Chains A and B, each alone.
Chain A
Amino acid sequence: MMRRVLYRLGLGVVTLFCVYALTFWMVIVVPGNPFASGDRNMPAEVERALLARYHMDDNTAYFFEYLAGAVRLDFGPSFQYRDWTCTQIIAQSLPVSVTLGLLAMLLAVLIGVPAGVYSAVRRDGWLDGATLGLVLVGVSLPTFVIGSALLTVFAVYLKMFPIGGWGTLMHLPLPALTLATPFAAYIARLTRIGMLDVLSGDFVRTGIAKGLGRGRVIRRHAFGHAFLPVLSYLGPAAAQAMTGSFVVEKVFGVPGIGQHFVDSALNLDRGMVLGTVFVFSAMIIVFNLVVDVVYGMVDPRISEVVA
Chain B
Amino acid sequence: MKKFLAMFVVGTFLLAGCSSGGGGSGGSGDKGGQQVAAAPATSTLVIGNSAELNGLDPHIRLSTFNARVSNQIFQPLFRLSADGKIEGVLATAYKNVDPTTWEFTLREGVTFHDAAPWNAQAFVDNLKRMFDKALPSNVSSGIPTVVPDKTEIVNDHTVRVHTSTPDALLPRRFSHYWLSFVSPKVIDGHDAAYVATHPVGTGPYTFVDWKKDDHLTLKAWSGYWGPKATIDTLTFKPLPDPQSRVSALLAGQIDMAVDVPTPAVAQIDANPGTKIITAPTGTMEYNLYVDARKGGALANPKVRLALNYAIDRESIVKQVMGGMAVPTQSVVTPQSFGYNSDLQPYGYNPDKAKALLKEAGYGDGFTTNLWYVPGASPNEQEVTQTIQGYLAAVGVKVTLKPNEFTTNLSQTLGGKLDGLFYAGKTNQIMDADGIFTDSAPGSPWGQYAPLAGEALTLWKQEQQTFDDAQRAKLAQQIQKLLYDAPNWVYLHQMKQVYAVSSRVQGWQPRQDILLDFAGVTVQSK
> Does A pair with B?
no
Interface residues of B (CB under 8 A from A): none
Interface residues of A (CB under 8 A from B): none
